[in-house]
Amino acid sequence: MKFNQLATEVLEGVGGSHNVVSLVHCATRLRFKLRDSRKAQTAVLKNTPGVIMVVESGGQYQVVIGNEVERVYQPIAAQLDTSSASGENMPPPEKVGLMARLIDTISAIFTPFIGILIAGGVLKGLLSIALALGWTQNQSGTYQILFAASDAMFYFLPIFLGYSACKKFGGNPFVGMAIGGALTHPLMLAAYTASQLPGAQPHHFLGVPVIMINYGSSVIPIIFACWLSSKLERKIHLRLPSAVRNFVTPLACLAVVVPLTFLLIGPAATWLSNLLAQGYELIYSFNSVLAGMLMGALWQVCVMFGIHWGIVPIMMNNLAIVGHDTLIPLLVPAIFGQVGATLGIFLRTTNAQLKGNAASAMAAGICGITEPAVYGITLPNRRAFIFGCVGGAVGAGIVGYFQSAVYSFGFASIFTLAQLIPPSGFDFTVVAAIIGLLVSLTLATTLTWFFGKVRETATIAPQNTARGENDSVMKAETTAAAEFIYSPMNGELKPLEQIDDPIFAGGLLGKGAFIRPSGNQVFSPIDGKIASLFKTFHAIGLESPQGAEILIHVGIDTVKLDGKYFTPFVAEGDEVVRGQLLLEFDAEAIRAAGFSLDTPILVTNSDDFADIILNDGEITQQNTLLLTLIR
């Protein structure tokens, strides 16, 4: 039941079923394509129990769920199927850029079967281990049956791609499968084999010579073929009488697209595939260490924004064209860098709940699913995420130096080690990959353990103690472990994530809260000094004796007023006490000028604190507790 409830909340959060154009899921994410992303309630979704993170990237609205994504996807998909028939007069989906459309297309084509493709790759790796250890022979029936199971998906990849590509392009997916089947048909494979013999005569189609190519395991030709088939299908389907269109449309698509694929699309796409593989090999051979360090450092950033799908076809293309891939091994240290950083948090923290979350995230990360570790553990503790990337860069540089390669497809995980074994048996490239993994894991763990800062749940209960009520209590509570920031104005108190400004809401300038003021004065929230006073007077920076750096920014985009309607009562460098008047502003005039007065109060050096706790309540009064800073 909890997954059905979560599915309902997620669907409401993205704007309802009528706002969804399409939905797919990968190992951890629901990937929505929305008609209007402005209808999505991102702040609400981020705070929904069961949702790890929300990411907008590549034309997709991605809701990160974790390992249980399939159980959330199913009820949402069922609701979408039910509502699709009644979705009349819906506005067209938002237009997105070329790169966003490309990433959306790639992820939609590969996501449906990526799990079984990875399973086949892992099974191939395990069979390689069995051969290397002498547990079986490649002539045995056991080996051949299991090898067929592991290789079938990749060998007949054009058929599977035909289905998902046509579905993505809006065509008949079974026509796509038929085109993929034609490319891998035994007659065509036999013709290709015959064409490689000395003195072989070329094949012709209606007198036009055909360049015979082995399309088994190929990626790009079938995608282009399905795109053309879908275009042709839409052109002719509605122009045919209803009595014959259901078989004449696929007949026309097969009769036109299959020959065109063998004559033109296939050779051109194969040339493009070879060019892509050669281009990657050229970059890799130029400096494999640098290539490794870049991929090891940046892979998790790509995963965070969902743009890693643009790299997946390169991996698969390398395997199809070259027979091996050197890109996947570079990603193993990137994965284990985050695992190591999570282990560092696990060792460093004394919080039982955080330890449990870290242990769970490590288990998923070892299997290649890093979203729980990144979004739940390392990214909130920013240094840990950076140390994970550093470990990934160093480990991947080692892997790149020895040019380790995999011989079957699979996303980077502990199982990739089995896929590194060459057909000839163990060699040092396998050992080098293991060394790179261990270096990445150890370095990230060590750096995080010794130099990371952990945000833990606070144990100090904030008090709404105004100055003069009970100073002795307040002083007793203000220890080295905590610092208190008081409200600089009266008004409505809101979480920072809800402010209508992506820079503030995303915490890029620091954590804190914002106030919708009911007055027109700003008072000092601390005893300290004025560290900065903007020349437009709309923002003031303060520094406390304990080192907290506070920014009060009156309004959104009010810098454009160039100081108009603001009157300061302090100057930069002044010493101030809590409750001292800092600034007055003409609230009515600022609102009349079209500006919001929502005022963020930020701790700009948030990384120096383990946690920043917002006081409870929807209304705040000047000089009452606003934020508790935990060291």
Residues annotated as part of the active site: 26, 553
- Residue 167: half-sphere exposure toward Cβ, Cα within 13 Å: 19
CB 20 within 8 A of CB 32: yes
Task: Show the 3-state SS of 549-583.
Answer: EEEEECCCCHHHHCCCCEEECCCCCCEECCCCEEE
Output phi, psi for 388, to 5 deg: -60, -40
Query: What is d(CA 316, CA 328) in angstroms, rounded to the nearest whole number?
Result: 10
- What is residue 483's three-state secondary structure? strand
Q: How far is CA 212 from the centre of its chain?
A: 40
Q: What is the DSSP letter of 462?
A: P
Backbone torsions φ then ψ of 571, nearest 5 degrees? -130, 160
Host H or E run for residue 41: none
Helix (H) or strand (E) holding 377: none
Would you say 627 and 493 are in contact if contact means Cβ atoms under 8 Å apart? Answer: no
Angle at 129 between CA 125 and CA 130, to 5 degrees: 115
> Could you give phi then psi for residue 333, rounded to 5 degrees?
-60, -30
CA atoms of 258 and 266, how far apart (whole Å): 10
Sequence-separated (6 or more) residues with CB below 8 Å from residue 360: 372
Q: How many CB atoms lie within 10 A of CB 310?
A: 16
CA distance readout (Å), 113 to 61, 160, 221: 20, 8, 18
What is the distance between the alpha carbons of residues 493 and 22, in angstroms, rounded to a whole number? 37
Strand 60-64 and strand 482-486: the pairing is unpaired
Question: What would you report as the CA-atom Rg of the chain, rounded to the nearest whole angstrom?
Answer: 30
Region of residue 460 (left: phi > 0; alpha: psi -120 to 50; beta: else)? beta
Amino acid identity, position 595? F
Nearest to 598 by CA among 526, 496, 525: 496
| Contact (Cβ atoms closer than 8 angstroms) between residue 314 and residue 276 | yes
With DSSP H G I counted as helix, E B as strand and the rest as coil, what are the percentages for the chain, rounded to 5?
Answer: 55, 15, 30
Strand order through the sheet with 521-523: 521-523, 581-585, 566-568
Q: How far apart are CA 525 and CA 466, in angstroms?
A: 11
What's the half-sphere exposure (Cβ side, CA atoms, 13 Å) at 618? 0
